[in-house]
Amino acid sequence: MKLLFIGDIVGSVGRKALKNVLPGLKSKYRPDVVLVNGENAAHGRGINQAIAREFFDQGVHGITMGNHTWDNREIFDFIDDEPRLIRPANFPYGTPGNGYMSLKAAGKDLLVINLQGRTFLPPLDCPFQTVDAILEREGGRHQYIFVDFHAEATSEKIAMGWYLNGRVSAVVGTHTHVQSNDNRVLPGGTAYLTDVGMVGPRDGILGMEQEGVMHRFLTQLPSRFVVDEGKWHFHAALIELDEQTGLAKSIQQIRTDEDNYISE
């Protein structure tokens, strides 16, 4: 079973990149499941229903979110009616939406779990205890289990990888928007990557215009961050899972940009 996971899609440039790249990736790798992180899809902040639909129409099977989940208020209009979009599971009890979803993958059941870290991010419920509870409830019914751990600190993400080693198919991080180079299959059979990266403006600062971010660093004054325009880059990971064990055979990064992309 092949799973393609695409990093945080940032704004209209990111959405354009997805339209450009996804068809070629699908014909080249033939993934059974395509997942994207959508927390920055609407002008860099949150997502709305039209954009979620656009992703599904392009062959995306599930959308995960993160700390920007609530930035676009339109999400409250549809999150409870859209089982293919999830937000971090360790948000407070009673928060709208779900923290995990079940999908079909090559005829078997895939559990997708979204968690958020607590280091340099708002204090949420414990992501480790939260994932334990979900696995206890849902794990046995699913052949494959994929975790998007949306977190800032590399140490917290690596800890989650080892914590879930052998218990899930893959742990892949999001949120930093920078692709890490530590893809590996852990000894217990869990595919791991600290951060998958992003899809969006290549020459900004994590997707935002240089100017506003630079101004804040230089002056320590508040400044408005605006999504950058211009050329895109595209970061994803391709994970191959064993259909007998549900564990990982391989994980590889995919990284391309507008100047180097050759349509397959």
Contacts of 114 (CB under 8 A, 6+ apart): 64, 65, 66, 86, 87, 88, 89, 99, 100, 147, 148, 150
Out of 43, 61, 68, 150, pick the active-site residue: 68
In angstroms, what is the minimal distance from the CB of 96 to Fe ion?
Answer: 18
Q: Determine which residue in the list 3, 5, 8, 103 makes contact with Fe ion, applying CB under 5 A.
A: 8
Residue linked to tokens 């600190």? 153
With respect to Fe ion, which residue has the nearer C-beta, 228 or 240?
Answer: 228
The verdict on 228 binding Fe ion (CB under 5 A) reads no
Indicate left, alpha or beta for 163 from its phi (over 0: left) and psi (-120 to 50: alpha).
alpha
Residues 29, 13, 61, 101, CA torsion sign: positive
The verdict on 156 binding Fe ion (CB under 5 A) reads no
In angstroms, what is the minimal distance from the CB of 95 to Fe ion?
Answer: 16
Q: Determine which residue in the list 11, 21, 36, 40 makes contact with Fe ion, applying CB under 5 A.
A: 40
| Catalytic site includes residue 215 | no
Indicate left, alpha or beta for 69 from its phi (over 0: left) and psi (-120 to 50: alpha).
alpha
The verdict on 175 binding Fe ion (CB under 5 A) reads yes
CB atoms within 10 A of CB 224: 10
In angstroms, what is the minimal distance from the CB of 16 to Fe ion?
Answer: 17
The verdict on 176 binding Fe ion (CB under 5 A) reads no
Ramachandran angles phi, psi of 175, nearest 5°: 105, -40
Q: Determine which residue in the list 12, 67, 69, 176 makes contact with Fe ion, applying CB under 5 A.
A: 67
Q: Which residues of this chain interact with Fe ion, rule CB under 5 A?
A: 8, 39-40, 66-67, 175
Instruction: Write out the catalytic residue numbers.
Output: 68
